[in-house]
Amino acid sequence: MSTVKKYTSADGSYYIILDNRGNKEYGALKDGSVLETIHNVEFISEEQYEAERPKPEPLSETKMM
């Protein structure tokens, strides 16, 4: 059984969650927020976060109609 770990902004602001299948999820913790997960967490710099995280696709005119 996996243990749930808790992280706060005191641990870092930007993170990557790495699951058992090799998937990555990027996120940012705001003051007062708590991240709870059984997966491995790596805290990263803001620069690394901005460079690596998936960017939302801009809406095209056809999607907005």
pLDDT tens string 20-63: 898 999 999 999 999 999 999 999 999 999 999 988 888 776 65
Q: What are the sequence ranges of the domains in the chain?
A: 5-64
Cα-based distances in Å from 15 to 2, 3, 9, 41, 53: 20, 19, 10, 7, 10
**pLDDT given for residue 58 in this prediction:** 80
pLDDT mean over 1-22 = 92
pTM comes to 0.78
